[in-house]
Amino acid sequence: MSWAQIHAGLANTATLFLAFLAVWAFYLRLRSQPLNSSWYGAAVIAELLLLVQFGIGWLLWFEGLGSVLPRAWIHILYGVVAVITLPAGYAYFSKIPDDRVQTLAMALICLFLWGIVLRAAGVATYEISGLLNHYM
């Protein structure tokens, strides 16, 4: 299995995991419950998953795969945003005393991250398939 396949597989995993976290936080909000330690543990796992994804992306970049993407900076930008959003959101919204607002904010952050990871995968897929169609 190549690093590119692992990178793509982790992108699919991150997409599903972040969608699950968003739904879980919305469920807790609908039940008027605060985020619990299980949710925060899952959020840490999501962040670790994004960090591994980011690290493999840089490994691919240094192996020269970045030259395959004509607009690689957009893909890198999405990766940076994906890595910093969850900790930044937690740092900002953990200071809010209302647990309901905090739960809703973290649900929206996970939903935003879900979209970012989907968009990053879409940019890479679109650009690579466009290159393949151009050369074939």
| Structure-token pair, residue 69 | 């993407």
Question: Percentage helix, strand, coil, to 5, in the chain?
Answer: 85, 0, 15
pLDDT in tens, 31-45: 999 999 999 999 999
What crossing angle do the helices spanning 99-135 and 3-30 adopt, rounded to 10°?
A: 150
Q: Where are the domains of the chain?
A: 3-135
Answer whether 9's CB lies under 8 Å from 56's CB.
Answer: no
- CA Rg value for the chain: 17
- Please report which confidence band the pLDDT of residue 134 belongs to, taking 50, 70 and 90 as the band edges: very low
Among 20, 39, 53, which residue's Cα sits nearest to residue 99? 39
| Structure-token pair, residue 96 | 């809010």
Q: pTM of the full predicted structure?
A: 0.85
pLDDT in tens, 52-83: 999 998 998 888 876 666 677 888 899 999 99
Q: What is the mean pLDDT of the chain?
A: 88
